[in-house]
Chains A and B, each alone.
Chain A
Amino acid sequence: MKKILTLCVFLLYMIQHTQAQIDPSLLKGITMNPKKDLLNMDAIYDRPFVSNKKAPVSLGGYVEANWQHLGTDGISDGHQLQFRRMTLFVASSISKRIKFLSEIEFEPADKEIAIEFAAVDMEFNELFNLRGGMIINPIGAFNQNHDGPKWEFTDRPLSSVAMLPATWSNAGFGIYGKKYNNNWMIGYEIYASSGFDNSIIENTENKTFLPAAKKNTERFEELPSGTPLYTTKVAIRHNKIGEIGLSYMGGIYNKWQDDGLVIDEKRSIHVFALDFNTTLPKTNTFITTECAWVNVDVPKSYSEQFGNKQFGGFLDIVQPVVKRTIAGWKDAVINIAVRMEYIDWNKGQFIDTGSNIGDHLWSIMPAVSFRPNSQSVLRLNYRIQKQTDVLGNPPSNTAGFNFGLSTYF
């Protein structure tokens, strides 16, 4: 207790005496996308950047760090201090209608420095833009709009990281377009990219696990199946109703031929996602939800441990409760929020018994967040989670706190 009080006093001292070390007048805050109401597909440019007037590039990024204390069935690893990631954005307007943006992520826990996004956008028409490079496949909304400071929860949605691959980037090309008309907006994206491989069913997770394909860095050079992964999304937004998006991603995932010899059947994957977000006008309650259905052609001779159908999703409800000057921060906001999540990694029944296959999880996570400004957030979450194994045995119970900060810089 004494140590914690000492730490509090030290933090208070630092808050009062720390001065900005950079002359902010040298850098100008800009946004690459000046429109106010945006679709999720605009999220990659809807980020704060800083730019020196004479420099050809704009820079930005965000950082996330957490403390967590979770326990499962009476066993806890105690306090964990985590530096989740730092992401750098580098953007450049090469000409009025040619833009480049890159997103480089540093995740020290995974010893990973990865280019998540690095693509050139060429605008031919509002409804016809060409994008090429390393793209993020727009399956669901979270893949498009995943920056930590935008969310009130320290963890990314489980269905987006443990069922769908979060920040699923691939080498690819595609087209997209948007049309704005008063309160209405419509956008589409179509990409052909590299994609999955056998690891989605040949992995150490003991389940069909799409995120396993993220470890295959060869996908930036070679498509295992020799055929592209197709991803497409259509989103419609009305400013008074909200945005709804429907996306699909699919193709052949496995290496079925090698050196001209057929070594397996062609096996396909199909993923459908539905996302919706809105802000209720009277209460300013922000609601965002996403659910996805995964169908994977798993060989019949393989283990039923690896499901051919999956379903998962999340629902976030965020309610601002205080908006005023707090501790000197003008228009600071305190939110209360809750996230509900569900994943079923293996929908179906066992052949031998006809009983339901388990391998599912649900979680509910109340939260409080403090936003001193729109670009920074402190958040405290309490997770309650139940996870059932493939046999449907009594679930393991997990619960505990997360506290984290995330901010654009």
Chain B
Amino acid sequence: MNHRIQLISSMIIISILVLSCDKFQPNAPTDDSLLDGPVNGLTYEQNRQFLAGDVAFNDEIFSPATGLGPIFVATSCGSCHAGDGKGTPFTTLVRFGQTDSTGNQFLHLGGPQLQNRAIPGFKTEVIPNGATSSKFTPPANTGLGFLELVSDEDILSMSDPEDSNGDGISGVPSFGYLPEFITPNSNAVVKNGKYIHRFGKKAAAYNLLHQTVNAYNQDMGITSTFTPHDVYSGFSIDPEVSDKTVRDVVFYLQTLKAPIPRSKGNGNFETGKALFTQINCSGCHTPQLKTGFSPVTSLSNKTIYPYTDMLLHDMGTELDDGYTEGFAKTSEWRTPALWGLGLSPNSQGGQYFLMHDGRAKSIEEAIMMHGGEAKKSRDSFKQLNESEKSTIINFLKSL
């Protein structure tokens, strides 16, 4: 009888553990503390494609056996965008060889991107003599699908090439030619055969397919039917990633949620926002945009708060590396979105590496590095008292 009691007691304990094991596991971080995760409201089919893209983006590690390199920058998409956030100096890449709109003069010597790593037995590229270069720290991926859906008309409406309002800001859209594999949007604005590009530090990529295909090829040395040329040999070789995987990754990037503001509604947020507007940071970092139609309901016709105008701005000599892409000037940079800025340390090893090349180690340092069209705003920020500066920085961290 005693044995039975022991057995029954043991089984009851085990049963309780089985039933309550969820309670003994770590809680999920709050949604507003994460950059990854899909937009709400995806269908079952869309969730499946999101997951396929998630696996390809974060879990598929390329090795020489699966096409890595032979020269490369990273072994996977996720290596550069941990948690879909910004990268670090370790994942920062270098581009070289173009100084003006006549194009890259060093394509025959490995341009535009320096493949600074190589599989065993191969040598890395070096920047050729005479080529200027710039470092690009990987941006966050979050909310890109929303930015892709902002209409060309809306982008054009924010541009002010002649600075007709006299605020010192004269953003211009980045017009460029499309690669063959890109089909332009039906409502795209065309100017002399060029289309508005919006992704990348110099806005040299038209859409997320363009960006993704280039990243596979230039960052990992992976060829696809879209870009069949091997970065090492320059020859066309068999595709090393399938069209489906590329499309899945693009869908994943399109359907990543937008960062969730963490202090919206409280007084400090509103004060910070008011100061941000008062010193005209919002002249380029446009707080509110709207998306156009998308077959993905969660992305379609939404109001978003990315704090970018997606235009190129002349940032002056302070940020002129002497290198450019597309038709941008060397001193021009596309306004980066500020949403999710405060979560950057979660993907940057607990630190900030801001600006295009990660040279700023804090938000304040980043503000002080602004020049050119942003000089007035920078100087206005400088004039603020410490409390006001702190309010702005806390506001930026909460986006």
* A contact residues vs B (CB 8 Å cutoff): 1, 4-5, 8, 11-12, 15, 67, 69-76, 79, 198-199, 201-206, 254, 263-264, 267, 299, 301-305, 326-328, 350, 352-353, 355, 358, 380, 382, 389-394, 397-401, 403
**Which residues does chain B contribute within 8 Å of A267, judged by CB atoms?**
120
Choose the segment among B22-30, B194-202, B260-268 that binds chain A (4+ C-beta atoms closer than 8 Å): B22-30
Given that A11-B11, A198-B120, A353-B90 are known contacts, is A382 also in contact with B4, CB under 8 Å in the complex?
no
- Let me know if B168 is at the binding interface, CB within 8 A: no
- Bound CA–CA A223/B149 (angstroms): 55
- Are B22 and A301 in contact (CB-based, < 8 A)? no
Nearest chain B CB to A97 CB, angstrom units: 45
Contact with A along B106-126 (1 / 0, CB 8 A): 000000000001111111100
Choose the segment among B179-187, B290-298, B341-349 that binds chain A (4+ C-beta atoms closer than 8 Å): B341-349
Contact of A254 among B4, B60, B63, B120 (CB under 8 A): B120
- Are B29 and A71 in contact (CB-based, < 8 A)? no
B118 nearest CB neighbor, chain A only: A301
- Are B118 and A203 in contact (CB-based, < 8 A)? no
**Which residues does chain B contribute within 8 Å of A71, judged by CB atoms?**
22, 25-26
**Which residues does chain B contribute within 8 Å of A8, judged by CB atoms?**
8, 11-12, 15
**Which residues does chain A contribute within 8 Å of B22, judged by CB atoms?**
69, 71, 76
- Are A400 and B63 in contact (CB-based, < 8 A)? no
Cross-chain pairs A/B with CB under 8 angstroms, 25 sampled: A12-B4, A69-B18, A69-B21, A73-B26, A73-B29, A76-B25, A202-B64, A202-B119, A204-B66, A206-B76, A206-B79, A301-B118, A301-B122, A305-B79, A326-B6, A327-B3, A350-B88, A350-B90, A352-B88, A352-B90, A358-B349, A390-B90, A393-B349, A401-B17, A401-B24
A327 nearest CB neighbor, chain B only: B3
- Are B11 and A74 in contact (CB-based, < 8 A)? no
Given that A12-B4, A206-B75 are known contacts, is A264 also in contact with B120, CB under 8 Å in the complex?
yes
- Let me know if B384 is at the binding interface, CB within 8 A: no
Nearest chain A CB to B122 CB, angstrom units: 7
- Are A202 and B120 in contact (CB-based, < 8 A)? yes
Given that A353-B88, A401-B21 are known contacts, is A74 also in contact with B118, CB under 8 Å in the complex?
no
- Are A393 and B11 in contact (CB-based, < 8 A)? no
A8 nearest CB neighbor, chain B only: B11
- Bound CA–CA A375/B25 (angstroms): 32
Given that A15-B7, A303-B74, A327-B3 are known contacts, is A391 also in contact with B349, CB under 8 Å in the complex?
yes
- Bound CA–CA A71/B62 (angstroms): 27
**Which residues does chain A contribute within 8 Å of B118, judged by CB atoms?**
299, 301-302
- Bound CA–CA A229/B398 (angstroms): 55
Nearest chain B CB to A393 CB, angstrom units: 6
**Which residues does chain A contribute within 8 Å of B121, judged by CB atoms?**
263-264
Q: Which bucket holds chain B's interface residue count?
A: 35 or more
- Are A4 and B349 in contact (CB-based, < 8 A)? no
- Bound CA–CA A70/B22 (angstroms): 8
Contact of B117 among A79, A205, A301, A391 (CB under 8 A): A301
- Bound CA–CA A73/B34 (angstroms): 11
- Bound CA–CA A397/B28 (angstroms): 9
B85 nearest CB neighbor, chain A only: A393
Given that A254-B120, A264-B120, A392-B349 are known contacts, is A400 also in contact with B19, CB under 8 Å in the complex?
no
Contact of B19 among A4, A11, A203, A205 (CB under 8 A): A4
Contact of A327 among B6, B68, B348 (CB under 8 A): B6
Contact of B88 among A76, A305, A391 (CB under 8 A): A391
The 4 closest A-B pairs by CB, nearest first: A74-B28, A71-B25, A352-B89, A264-B121
**Which residues does chain B contribute within 8 Å of A75, judged by CB atoms?**
28
Nearest chain B CB to A216 CB, angstrom units: 11
Which residues between 337 and 385 of chain B lie within 8 Å of chain A, taking CB atoms? 346-351
- Are A397 and B26 in contact (CB-based, < 8 A)? yes
Contact of A382 among B24, B28, B117 (CB under 8 A): B24
- Are B75 and A305 in contact (CB-based, < 8 A)? yes
Which residues between 78 and 116 of chain B lie within 8 Å of chain A, taking CB atoms? 79, 82-83, 88-92
Additional A-B contacts beyond A8-B15, A264-B120, A391-B347 (7; CB < 8 A): A8-B11, A70-B25, A301-B118, A326-B6, A355-B351, A391-B82, A401-B24
- Bound CA–CA A358/B346 (angstroms): 13
**Which residues does chain B contribute within 8 Å of A391, judged by CB atoms?**
82, 88, 90-91, 347-349
**Which residues does chain A contribute within 8 Å of B347, judged by CB atoms?**
391, 393
- Are A328 and B89 in contact (CB-based, < 8 A)? no
Interface centre among B6, B26, B119 (most CB of A within 10 A): B26
Interface centre among B8, B21, B66, B68 (most CB of A within 10 A): B21
- Bound CA–CA A355/B352 (angstroms): 13
Nearest chain B CB to A355 CB, angstrom units: 6
A304 nearest CB neighbor, chain B only: B90
**Which residues does chain A contribute within 8 Å of B19, judged by CB atoms?**
1, 4
Nearest chain B CB to A8 CB, angstrom units: 4
Nearest chain A CB to B237 CB, angstrom units: 19
- Let me know if B14 is at the binding interface, CB within 8 A: yes
- Are A74 and B24 in contact (CB-based, < 8 A)? no
- Are B346 and A393 in contact (CB-based, < 8 A)? yes
- Are A206 and B65 in contact (CB-based, < 8 A)? no
Interface centre among B18, B88, B120, B348 (most CB of A within 10 A): B120
